[in-house]
Amino acid sequence: MPQSFDGVRHMAEIHFTSHLRNLVPGGPLSASGATVGEALANLLAKQPHVRGYVLDERGELRKHVCIFADGERLARDSALSRSIGPDSKLYVMQALSGG
């Protein structure tokens, strides 16, 4: 886990939006990891009931889930491999579809 010069450990902040926040109240949550995928894996290990809403059965990002890292919208096919820093802010969103 990353540690700063002042001895305080820093971790990425993970925010869930509306629908997912109902499943994970009390956010934002913190998780360590060098990539978005590692941070999510560490978080989902503690919150396994959320996994199926974010990742599919192969461990890939679900089709209607979008992740922003430090203000940048990540492409779905490369989002989990995106490098992040210990002070990164991640936003996990579920797109709504229908009419």
Question: Residue 26 belongs to a domain with what CATH number?
Answer: 3.10.20.30
| pLDDT (tens place) for every residue of the chain, 99 residues total | 333 333 444 589 999 887 777 777 777 889 999 999 999 999 999 889 989 999 999 999 999 999 999 999 999 999 999 999 989 999 999 876 665
Cα–Cα distance for residue pair 38/32, rounded to 1 Å: 7
Domain of residue 76 covers: 12-94
Structure confidence at residue 2 (pLDDT): 35
Inside any domain, residue 1: no
Inside any domain, residue 7: no
Tally of domains in the chain: 1
Dump the DSSP string for 54-99: HB-TTSPBPTTEEEEETTEEPPTTTGGG-B--TT-EEEEEE-----
Inside any domain, residue 4: no
User: Among all chains, which residue has been given the structure tokens 């009390």?
Assistant: 26
Inside any domain, residue 62: yes
Predicted TM-score (pTM) of this structure: 0.83
Inside any domain, residue 37: yes
Inside any domain, residue 17: yes
